[in-house]
Amino acid sequence: EAEFDAYLEQVKKSTEMDRLDSSRAKSGVFLQRYAINPVNGERIQIWASDYVLADYGTGAIMAVPAHDQRDLDFARAFSLPVRIVVDAGEDPAVTGVATADDGPHVNSGPLDGLGKAEAIDAMLALLEERGTGTPAVNYRLRDWLISRQRYWGTPIPIIHCDTCGEVAVPEDQLPIVLPSAEGLDLKPKGASPLGAATEWSSVPCPRCGEPAVRDTDTMDTFVDSSWYYLRYVDPTDATRAFDPAKVAEWLPVDQYVGGVTHAILHLLYSRFFSKVLYDMGLVTFNEPFTRLLNQGMVVMNGSAMSKSRGNLVRLSDELAVHGVDAIRLTMVFAGPPEDDVDWGDVSPSGSKKFLARAWRLSGDVTSEVGADVTAGDLAVRKATHRAVHDAGLAIESFRFNVAVARAMELVNVTRKAIDSGCGPADPAVREAAEAVAVILSLVAPYTAEDMWMRLGHEPAVALAGWPVVDPELLVEESVTCIVQVAGKVRERLEVSPEISEDDLRELALTAPGIIAALEGRAIRTVVVRPPKLVNIVPE
């Protein structure tokens, strides 16, 4: 209890925004209590942790570490079991990445083999049959608070009349235009700032014609900023908010990028607007953004930069010392975009040195533009096409740090080929240097453009297009297969990329390291994902 009380005091110091931050280290306390799983009777440890919010469901959750990233981070922090229940072809206990994809259920008793939707229906039916649970819809709607009054907020279209009461502004008088702020005293006085505009607020009642007063309260400013994406596609129409035909052509938004601070305010309001407009038949979609990426912040020594903390790093100073390309590369290479970048842990000088090394490649190449690359060194060509392939996939999934890593590897291969391999005149070296320039053009455009020019190309590398990958050059003679026993890596096997499931299972079960790890135990199940993974679950 003392440990829990101490943890409770610690949690009280955190804001809800802090607790929503997925990059925070997970914390918690084991309560020395257990819950009983109503389906299989297993005992489940009960933990208290601040990443579970009180207003989510009942405030208590059943953690599923293999398939929820926050649960996985928590389980890894406290060495808790990570049981796969949906087979998505990866082991989150090894990769550190939860799998949210659909797939057949495993380790789930009567649900084994079912897809996610089927399994949910089957589980609900099972719980109802046993009398231990029923399906329910959990509503999380809250009142929209508008107590923060701003002069520039959205006017409320109501007129107050002593005779008629509250009267709606006639449609032909909409939208209500805010008065000029010139000459108005808008300082807080315990009332809405718009009340200072007495000439604007004094109007005749639309119903009886007697003197009346506009409502001087304004709605939250998020009312203004929650439907901008609709206006973007039709910003000059003076007769309506947006053209439905143009909105249908351009929206919904393919990719939204924003900080985690948007998650509980702006995104909630934007989705609300879209759903209301969809119900009214004004738009053809009820979700405004198809995909979401919450990018991290640049911090210093674990804290947000501020003068009061004395950890402020001036961007202008860093740019003057290292250059814009090196700073940009440093931020991109530091980790996935959703993670914070701690400036105390990164090396802009290292990025600057790498860019100089990559740039020198463009001056060392001696083959002509358009040389027949098919006659070039095969190993260098394979490295080039593998780097382009992997970097392209990484960029499409916002893993820019992986794309930079592939460029770095290719620079090393190319430098080695020039200095002690096939030589600078080999067409494969030119192909590799050009690929480096194209990959780097996305994160270090100034360096990449200069490389492209030194390699003899016009126009800009930004217009060059992505290199075409030859699938035959991606074929590997062998790959490394990881073999696990009870979630722990016990063997690594070099196998053919084309190995069959049966052959890989036999090879894994007869490997010396696996035989030793099993210690004679019977095997419950073997999950085989050729050619890279075998997971053995003993009894």
Pairs from 267-273 (Cβ < 8 Å, separation ≥ 24): 267/292, 269/222, 269/223, 269/225, 269/226, 270/226, 270/227, 270/229, 272/226, 273/226, 273/227
User: How far is residue 381's CA from residue 335's CA, in Å, rounded to a whole number?
Assistant: 28
Question: Residue 54: which pLDDT band, with cuts at 50, 70 and 90?
Answer: confident
Whether residue 249 has pLDDT greater than 80: yes
User: How far is residue 440's CA from residue 354's CA, in Å, rounded to a whole number?
Assistant: 11
**Tokens describing residue 502:** 């049966």
3-state secondary structure (DSSP) of residue 493: strand
Quote the DSSP letter at residue 99. -
User: How far is residue 457's CA from residue 438's CA, in Å, rounded to a whole number?
Assistant: 12
CATH superfamily for 300-472 is Isoleucyl-tRNA Synthetase; Domain 1 (1.10.730.10)
Residue 309 pLDDT? 74
Instruction: For residue 204, list its beta bridge partners.
Output: 211
Whether residue 72 has pLDDT greater than 80: yes
Residue 384 pLDDT? 95
Q: Convert the pLDDT of each residue in 342-398 to its tens digit.
A: 888 888 999 999 999 999 999 999 999 988 999 899 999 999 999 999 999 999 999
User: How far is residue 491's CA from residue 457's CA, in Å, rounded to a whole number?
Assistant: 48
User: How far is residue 2's CA from residue 32's CA, in Å, rounded to a whole number?
Assistant: 12
Helix, strand, coil shares, percent, the chain, to 5: 40, 15, 45
Decide which of 448 and 12 is more confident. 448
Strands 154-155, 158-161: parallel, antiparallel or unpaired by DSSP? unpaired
User: How far is residue 85's CA from residue 94's CA, in Å, rounded to a whole number?
Assistant: 15
Which residues have C-beta within 8 Å of that of residue 520, sequence separation ≥ 6?
none
Residue 137 pLDDT? 82
Whether residue 232 has pLDDT greater than 90: yes
Our measurement of the distance from residue 30's CA atom to the centroid of its chain's CA atoms, rounded to an integer in Å, reads 30
2-130 carries CATH number 3.40.50.10470: no
Instruction: For residue 538, list its beta bridge partners.
Output: 523
3-state secondary structure (DSSP) of residue 482: strand
Q: How far is residue 399 from each of residues 308, 396, 402, 406, measured CA to CA in Å?
A: 33, 8, 5, 11
Whether residue 416 has pLDDT greater than 80: yes
Using a cut of 0.75, tell me whether the model's pTM lies above it.
no
- Measured from the Cβ of residue 295, the count of other Cβ atoms closer than 10 Å reads 15
User: How far is residue 94's CA from residue 90's CA, in Å, rounded to a whole number?
Assistant: 8
Element (H, E) at 318: helix 315-322
Q: Which of 333, 334, 346, 326 is nearest to 444 (CA)?
A: 326
Q: What is the mean pLDDT of residues 521-528?
A: 93
HSE at residue 421, side-chain half, CA atoms within 13 A, is 19
Give the strands of the sheet with 533-538, arranged side by side.
Answer: 488-495, 479-485, 533-538, 523-529
Token look-up 């003068």 returns 307
Q: What CATH number should be reported for the domain whose range is 479-538? A: 3.10.20.590
Residue 300 pLDDT? 85
Question: Residue 513: which pLDDT band, with cuts at 50, 70 and 90?
Answer: very high
Backbone φ and ψ for 494, nearest 5 degrees, come out as -90, 115
User: How far is residue 24's CA from residue 299's CA, in Å, rounded to a whole number?
Assistant: 13
3-state secondary structure (DSSP) of residue 347: coil
- Measured from the Cβ of residue 294, the count of other Cβ atoms closer than 10 Å reads 19
Question: Residue 414: which pLDDT band, with cuts at 50, 70 and 90?
Answer: very high
Q: Is 223 exposed, middle or buried (0-12, 13-18, 19+ CB in 10 A)?
A: middle
The residue extents of the domains of the chain are 2-130, 154-219, 223-295, 300-472, 479-538
Round the CA-based radius of gyration of the chain to a whole number and report it. Answer: 30
Q: Convert the pLDDT of each residue in 137-196 to its tens digit.
A: 877 777 777 787 888 888 999 999 999 999 999 999 988 999 988 888 877 777 888 888
Instruction: For residue 480, list its beta bridge partners.
Output: 494
Q: What is the mean pLDDT of residues 100-107?
A: 90
Q: Which of 486, 488, 473, 491 is nearest to 532 (CA)?
A: 491
User: How far is residue 417's CA from residue 431's CA, in Å, rounded to a whole number?
Assistant: 12
**Tokens describing residue 434:** 């050009």
Quote the DSSP letter at residue 193. G
**Tokens describing residue 4:** 């829990």
Q: Convert the pLDDT of each residue in 282-341 to its tens digit.
A: 999 999 999 999 888 888 887 787 777 777 888 899 999 999 999 999 999 998 898 888
- Measured from the Cβ of residue 371, the count of other Cβ atoms closer than 10 Å reads 18
Q: What is the mean pLDDT of the chain?
A: 90
Quote the DSSP letter at residue 345. G
User: How far is residue 482's CA from residue 489's CA, in Å, rounded to a whole number?
Assistant: 7
**Tokens describing residue 316:** 């202008």
**Tokens describing residue 399:** 């893993």
Alpha helical stretches, state H, 336-397: 348-364, 378-396
Q: What is the mean pLDDT of residues 51-64?
A: 83
Q: Convert the pLDDT of each residue in 264-288 to its tens digit.
A: 788 888 999 999 999 999 999 999 9
3-state secondary structure (DSSP) of residue 295: strand
